[in-house]
Amino acid sequence: MPASQPRSRARDRNNVLNRAEFLSLNQPLKGNQESRSSGRKQSGQAGAAGAQNCGPKERRQSQQLPEEDCMQLNPSFKGIAFNSLLAIDICMSKRLGVCANRASSWGGARSMINLLGITGHGIPWIAGTLICLVKSSTLAGQEVLMNLLLALLLDIMIVAGLQKLAKRKGPYDITPGLLDYLTMDTYAFPAGHASRVAMLSKFFLNHLVLAIPLRILLVLWALCVGLSRVMIGRHHITDVLSGFVFGYLQFRLVELIWMSSNTCQMLISIW
Q: How many CB atoms lie within 10 A of CB 93?
A: 24
Residue type, 43: S
Residue at 56 is within a domain:
no
> Considering all CA atoms of the chain, what is the largest pairwise distance in Å, rounded to the nearest integer?
132
- In 3-state terms, what secondary structure has residue 209? coil
Number of domains present in the structure of the chain: 1
193 is annotated as an active-site residue: yes
Residue at 160 is within a domain:
yes
Write out the chain's pLDDT in tens, 271 residues: 555 555 555 555 555 445 544 444 454 544 444 445 555 545 555 444 454 554 554 555 545 444 444 445 556 877 888 888 888 988 998 888 888 888 878 878 888 988 998 899 999 999 999 999 989 888 988 999 999 999 999 999 999 999 999 999 888 888 787 878 888 888 889 999 999 999 999 999 999 888 999 999 999 999 999 999 999 989 999 999 999 999 999 999 999 999 998 988 888 888 7
Residue at 51 is within a domain:
no
Residue at 224 is within a domain:
yes
The per-residue b/e assignment along 244-263, b for 16 or more CB within 10 angstroms, e otherwise, is: bebbeebbebbeeeebeeee
- In 3-state terms, what secondary structure has residue 257? coil
Q: Which domain holds residue 255?
A: 107-270
Q: Where are the beta strands (DSSP E) in 90-158?
A: none
Dihedral pair phi/psi, residue 149, rounded to 5°: -65, -40
Residue at 240 is within a domain:
yes
Residue at 125 is within a domain:
yes
Residue at 259 is within a domain:
yes
Residue at 60 is within a domain:
no
CB 149 within 8 A of CB 129: yes
207 is annotated as an active-site residue: no
